[in-house]
Chain A
Amino acid sequence: MGLSTYIVIFTCFINILLGIFVILRNSHSKANWSFFIMSVAISAWAVTDHLANIPTRLFLDEIYNKLAFIFAYIAVYAGLRFSYYFVSTVKKRTIEQRITIPIGLAIVILSGTVYIAGNVSYVKGNLDFSVGKLVILYVLSMLFMLGLITRNLLSASKRGDNRTRQQAKLILFGFSTAVILGLIANIIIPTISKNWDSTDFGPLLTVILVSSITYAIIKHKLFDIRLIVARSLAYVFTLITIALIYIIPVILLTTYIIHQSLSTTSIVALVVVTFIVAIIFHPLRIRFNKLTNSLFFRDYYEPQEILDQLSTVLVGSVEVKHIENSSTKILINTFRPQFLKFLFMSEPESNQGNQEIIKIMKSFKDNVLFVDEIKSDHNRVIYGSSYDKPIAVAIRLSTSNQDLGYLLLGYKESGNIYNNVDKRLLGIAADEIAISLQNALRFKEIQQFNITLQAKVDEATKELKKTNEKLKALDETKDDFISMASHQLRTPLAIIKGYVNMLVHGDAGKLNKQQKDFLDQASISSETMVRLVTSLLNVSRITSGKFSVESNPVNLADIVENEVLQLSNMAKERNIQLTYQKPNDFPILMLDEEKIRQVVANFIDNAIHYSKDKGAKINVQLTDNDDIIFEVIDNGIGVPPNEKEHLFTKFYRAKNAKEARPNGTGVGIYLAKVVINELGGDLVFESKEGIGSTFGFRFKKDKIVQPVSKS
């Protein structure tokens, strides 16, 4: 076989191998699959092209020829798709891709026909290839695709990060070189000179392409398979070398010494068998290693494996018990000691009876002590507490800042001694276990701290709750008291009112002026008391949630007039002039008569009591947009600015108010606010300390029932 055959085999092998690596690396990437198809197609093309040039049966050659055309096209097409993935992801150029698919398919099919691939015939004992008429189409579309690939690679070599640019440049180089040379060698030269010998060099050119991509892989992490390639190359070279070492002497031997020539088939068989043997050597060796290990070494173990197991277990442990149990299990399995005991600093009781060994350990520098190595006493046997078994190994478990304890091992059941490998393993294990224990202890500390904290918080919360309940109960008691008191007070009040009324009306006889005067005073006071009790009752109802307002047609103008009249006596007493201009035709409103009456009375009452001897003006009117306003404007003591926001709260009394009227309850305007809000209105309130205040309410026109009242 000629050099070209070897080139072909070699190229195929490398190409396909690289393709497989890439697929193994990431079988989900479309770019990877494109590369794989490309490399396989290139190899297939190399093979078929080569086979086409070997004169065998004519029709076979023709088939090979056609296949070569097909595979070449497929290779270029795959390369094109690969280059698309290399371009910046923003512009996928999908339209282009969509066009090239059907065209590509068509030409692939055509490639297999005589129109492109042409005929094969014998001329003067040599193979002669003629090309079909449509070969121009083939060449042009190939060129077009190659142009696209070039464009894509150029674009990638300009954009993207440094690495992508480098890779693109490399691939571009290899690609363009290979392609151009390939075209020249395979198509242009033969077409012009009708000499097909140049096609022999075809495969070589693929090597250029493949090498450049490989170089890009190795140097610039394309597909990131450097490691796999390195290892696999080493493996392949080993196999090849072994095969050659075997085959060459065999061939030489048979040819020159035994004088038998080997047929091609037998050589091929030889190569294949050699490769198989070389490949299975390593796995077989491992199997036998394991087998003999289990036969000869009863306590053979793989240190790395043990350490891995230990690490896995320790990583997941935060509890001392768990660490102890799992490491005990692993160590017992590994060494099969007669006994194994952990001693923890945090559990001093466990140290009893082990004082001797601990004392020795304390003065020992390393963390693993083989008792047999202590040179002080010959045949020294140290016993641990409550064991009738001697201690063989003592291990200190400590980290750089803490001594966590000790681990004691007895002699191996198998009777074998502990060796250096054991010592090394135990040393590493000791460190790992120590760190793990430290973590576990710290974790426990934190947990404990958490628990204590939680307990303290719970206690504080409980205390708070208790206090809260007490306050609530107190509040309820107060409200209950108010409710009961005001209720009980109503009846006697009604009676007083009744009798005084009867007297005033002369039902018990005519009265002189003084008697009438006295009774008037009593009447006023009893009215005040009734009002007060009603207010208190309402307050307690609000608190207990039993407060409600009704909605009935109410004549506000009349109500105000009534209350002004009712309070006129009191006003006169205090030299306050009440001015009220009752509006004509004021509309009827949907309000709660009793409650709104109380509000009105309260505001007027306040104006009377908190004014100096000036006047107070009472307004009832409709605004421009038909809102209803009721206001009492006084020239009284006013409300200090810092007390304004608390003014309308239950039982609140401003300082200057307390001075002016020590007997106030602080309930009136609180109730007024609640009533007004419940009825859906707004409070009207303005005040300047020392100058005067305006109290009132405002309702929207939807409270109006009829536009005009019947006067």
Chain B
Amino acid sequence: MDEKKRILIVDDDDQISKMYTALLTIKGFATKRVNNGEDALAEVQEYKPDLILLDVMMPKISGFDVADILHNTIETKEIPIIMLSALGAKEDRDRAAASGVVYYYVKTEIDTESIAKKIDEILSQK
């Protein structure tokens, strides 16, 4: 069996990140969670995740900014990002797409099983 894939969970809401940690751990992934954008950028360098679960609304640096920076850095460009948002507006989707984010879900609409399935899909493609 391969080494566990690493997923970085970025969300300022502890409840959310705890839940995703639980889910993904059960599904067999290694996870790490941070609660703000700066730490996220630092952790990407250190932890080198295979996928990033990124919340949009965060204080100081927003999810969009993080995605932008990651997208414009060579080493991190290839890491797939799933953005989670409490909103679902089209402008936000488009903005995410501009930063190279392919997957954008609204938290309350997507259910956990689907996310897990999606993550599997993405990582198996890599």
Q: Which residues of A contact B (CB under 8 A)?
A: 487, 490-495, 497-499, 501-502, 505, 507-508, 530, 533-534, 548, 550, 594
Chain B residues within 8 Å of A508, by CB: 26
Q: Which residues of B contact A (CB under 8 A)?
A: 13, 15-16, 19-20, 22-23, 26-27, 86, 88-90, 107-109, 111-113
Q: Is the CB of B108 within 8 A of A533?
A: yes
**Measured CA separation A508–B26 after assembly (Å):** 8
- B23: contacting residue among A491, A507, A550, CB under 8 A: A507
Q: Is the CB of B108 within 8 A of A490?
A: yes
Q: A498-B19, A499-B19, A508-B26 are in contact. List 15 more A-B contacts (CB 8 A).
A: A487-B86, A490-B86, A490-B108, A491-B16, A494-B16, A498-B23, A498-B112, A501-B111, A501-B113, A502-B23, A502-B112, A505-B113, A507-B27, A530-B109, A594-B109
- With A490-B107, A502-B26, A594-B109 as given contacts, are A495 and B90 in contact (CB-CB < 8 Å)? no
Closest to B111 in A: A501
**Measured CA separation A490–B16 after assembly (Å):** 11
User: Which secondary structure dominates where chain A touches chain B?
Assistant: helix
Chain A residues within 8 Å of B16, by CB: 491, 494-495
**Measured CA separation A594–B107 after assembly (Å):** 14
Chain B residues within 8 Å of A492, by CB: 15
Closest to A493 in B: B108
Q: Is the CB of B27 within 8 A of A495?
A: no
B4: min CB distance to chain A, Å: 16
Listed by A's residue number, 14 A-B pairs whose Cβ atoms lie within 8 Å are A487-B86, A490-B86, A491-B13, A491-B15, A491-B16, A497-B111, A498-B23, A501-B111, A501-B113, A502-B112, A505-B113, A507-B26, A533-B108, A550-B90
Give the one of B27, B88, B107 with max A CB within 10 A. Answer: B107
A424: min CB distance to chain B, Å: 92
Chain A residues within 8 Å of B112, by CB: 497-498, 501-502, 505
Chain B residues within 8 Å of A487, by CB: 86
Q: Is the CB of A498 within 8 A of B13?
A: no
Q: Is the CB of A534 within 8 A of B90?
A: no
**Measured CA separation A492–B107 after assembly (Å):** 10
Q: Is the CB of B109 within 8 A of A502?
A: no
- With A501-B113, A548-B90 as given contacts, are A494 and B107 in contact (CB-CB < 8 Å)? yes
Chain B residues within 8 Å of A493, by CB: 108
A69: min CB distance to chain B, Å: 102
Q: Which 7 A-B pairs have the closest CB atoms?
A: A494-B107, A501-B112, A507-B26, A498-B112, A494-B108, A498-B19, A490-B108
B72: min CB distance to chain A, Å: 28
Chain B residues within 8 Å of A495, by CB: 15-16, 19
